[in-house]
């Protein structure tokens, strides 16, 4: 079994992924952490030193590698489904779940987060809500290709398991 969690940054992919993988007895991989370990650099360093296009290539390579793993829950990066044919690869090789969370909730979570996120650095809450809404409008065509969709990341794990099995 291979499960991909997709959605915007701050939607709870890593949090839910940890809990859901334990619930199912599967391993868990956060794709951003995987990329950082493989490249000996943080995501912000890769963006700053090499640019977004180079980061997206590294992200694709990581996705190809992870798509070979078995019995795993993978929390993808927020933009991962939206580049190359990544969403097609995920749908072919596993079950995709879109965490479709309201932009105001995402902005609140991201403002509280201690994680450095290059795409939103320095934005006010109002700017952030607007930026998230605009970005989601562009990404939703990709996100909505997921086989499953949830609108609350606090979903009961048994309910989520029944949904995908």
Backbone angles phi, psi at 18, to 5 degrees: -60, -50
d(CA 160, CA 152): 11
The per-residue pLDDT for 118 is 75
Per-residue confidence (pLDDT) for residue 125, from 0 to 100: 86
Per-residue pLDDT of the chain (165 residues; tens, 9 = 90+): 999 999 999 999 999 999 999 999 999 999 999 999 999 999 999 999 999 999 999 999 999 999 999 999 999 999 999 999 999 999 999 999 999 999 999 998 898 887 777 778 888 888 999 999 999 999 999 999 999 999 987 889 999 999 998
Q: CATH: 3.30.70.520, 3.40.50.300, 3.40.50.720, 3.40.50.2300. Which one for 2-164?
A: 3.40.50.300
CA distance 142 to 63: 16
pLDDT of the residue at 114: 74
pTM: 0.94
- Contact partners, residue 73, CB within 8 Å, separation at least 6: 3, 5, 17, 20, 21, 24, 26, 27, 28, 29
Q: What pLDDT is recorded for position 84?
A: 97
């Amino acid at each position: 079994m291979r499960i991909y969690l997709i959605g915007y940054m701050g939607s709870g992919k890593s949090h839910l992924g940890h809990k859901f993988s334990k619930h199912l007895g599967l391993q868990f991989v956060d794709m951003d952490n995987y990329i950082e370990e493989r490249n000996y650099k943080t995501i912000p360093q890769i963006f700053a030193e090499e640019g977004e296009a180079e980061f997206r290539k590294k992200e694709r390579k990581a996705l190809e590698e992870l798509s070979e793993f078995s019995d795993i829950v993978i929390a993808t990066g927020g933009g991962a489904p939206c580049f190359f044919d990544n969403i097609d690869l995920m749908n072919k090789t596993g079950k995709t779940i879109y965490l479709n969370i309201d932009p105001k909730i995402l902005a609140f979570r991201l403002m509280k987060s201690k994680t450095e996120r290059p795409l939103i650095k320095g934005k006010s809450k109002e700017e952030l809500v607007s930026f998230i809404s605009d970005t989601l409008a562009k990404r939703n065509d990709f996100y909505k290709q997921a086989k499953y969709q949830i609108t609350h990341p606090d979903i009961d794990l048994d309910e989520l398991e029944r949904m995908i099995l």
